[in-house]
Amino acid sequence: MDKLNENTIQPKLKTAAVCGLFCPSCSLYIATKEEPARLELLIQNFGRPKEELQCEGCRSDKLSFYCRTCVMKKCTAERGFEFCSECGDYPCKDIKAFQEEMPHRAELWNSLEQIKAEGWKNWFAYMTAMTSCHKCGTINSAYEPVCRSCGGQPSSNYAEKHKDLIAAHINKLKKP
């Protein structure tokens, strides 16, 4: 990981998704870049081959099965935008539906507005801080209540802020 200081990684546009997601806090990204054991678990859970789950960020050449078919990415490319919020049709029905599907997408509107107002590099620094452990600086996914490196709680400000939404989602998945 390219660290600038304890809690900031080098901003990389390839890991700043067009929709406002922060790729370094994605479970598939973490599994691909840092945790091979997590990747093996995800292969079992999804029942998909490794090549379909590996992802190095929205704008990279290595995309997960989900990111390969992203309508927002295709749309921004066709319209010549870096981020959805640059479009006159924002927020469209596609990004609204996408945002509502999962709790780790709870702050897409805030992210895209921050990108528009302050630039993606400032947003990237903010998201690094929001998703990093207070104790060790490790970036965690929204679904990790405990830091994956040091066991610190909460794993991040983001996980703490959205813990009820995340818990409800996880409980819904457990029900038959």
Q: Is 4 helix (H, G, I), strand (E, B) or coil?
A: strand
- The confidence score (pLDDT) of residue 6 equals 46
- The confidence score (pLDDT) of residue 119 equals 96
- The confidence score (pLDDT) of residue 11 equals 86
Going along 1-154, which residue ranges are E strands? 3-5, 8-9
Q: What is the mean pLDDT of each run of 10 residues along the chain (176 residues)?
A: 49 95 96 96 95 96 95 96 96 94 91 96 96 96 94 95 88 74
Burial class (CB in 10 A: 0-12, 13-18, 19+), 31: buried
Strand partners, 139: 132
